[in-house]
């Protein structure tokens, strides 16, 4: 049985992530999405919100689960008895850092391998950062994120407007 982990920040999950999840879920028996709790990046959505959104958008995949993890990916994989890490490659710019991370992980644990999925062309430009920037200026993000994420953005914006009106 092949069990894999797909680690990331998912702040928030985009259609690009979902594309990787969908394709990875077809080739492994079990896919565990891991939201990194100790990322150095400051997040827009809380861990709980990111977990909730990922659970909503993956609810139709019977072999996908969502977890939050602290510490290094290698430990997360070990704790879950997974020997495979899934990552997505968008552009050449991703390649160098992804290769470095994959080689480091494999050196720490030689039983652990990384499998890369190259992005579908229509999502090659897409990152959570870009989505947040576009959403910040009130533009339509329906081509970039699932409906549940759109609603989550709307709620944040409404909250911000209510606070600024106080
Ligand atoms: P980001 O780099 O946007 O903060 P994450 O840390 O959430 O993204 O990314 C988790 C994984 O998903 C990484 O392997 C990343 O390369 C991949 N990924 C992110 N966006 C896309 C996309 N549009 N297409 C394919 N893979 C992606």
pTM to 2 decimals?
0.93
pLDDT in tens, 101-125: 999 999 999 999 999 999 999 999 9
pLDDT band at 8 (very low <50, low <70, confident <90, very high): very high
Instruction: Find the length of the chain.
Output: 166
Percent of the chain whose predicted confidence (pLDDT) is above 70: 99
Q: How far apart are CA 14 and CA 86, in angstroms?
A: 16
pLDDT in tens, 154-163: 888 787 777 8
Q: Is 90 in the pocket of ligand 1 (CB under 6 A)?
A: yes
Atom 16, ligand 1: which residue's CA is nearest?
Answer: 88
Cβ-proximal residues to 86 (8 Å cutoff; 6+ apart), any chain:
4, 5, 6, 20, 24, 28, 31, 114, 115, 116, 117
Annotated catalytic residues are 17, 41, 90, 128
């Amino acid at each position: 049985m092949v069990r894999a982990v797909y680690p990331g920040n998912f702040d928030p999950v985009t259609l690009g992530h979902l594309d990787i999840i969908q394709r990875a879920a077809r080739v492994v028996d079990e896919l565990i999405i891991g939201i990194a709790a100790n990322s150095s990046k400051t997040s827009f959505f809380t861990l709980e919100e990111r977990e909730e959104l990922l659970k909503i958008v993956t609810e139709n995949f019977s072999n996908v689960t969502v977890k939050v993890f602290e510490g290094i990916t290698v430990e997360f994989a070990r704790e879950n008895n997974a020997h495979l890490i899934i990552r997505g490659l968008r552009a050449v710019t991703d390649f160098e850092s992804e290769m470095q991370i994959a080689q480091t992980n494999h050196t720490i644990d030689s039983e652990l391998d990384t499998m890369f999925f190259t992005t579908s062309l229509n999502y090659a430009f897409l990152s959570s950062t870009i989505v947040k920037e576009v959403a910040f200026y009130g533009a339509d993000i329906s081509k970039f994120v699932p409906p549940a994420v759109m609603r989550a953005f709307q709620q944040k914006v409404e909250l911000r407007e209510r606070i600024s009106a106080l």
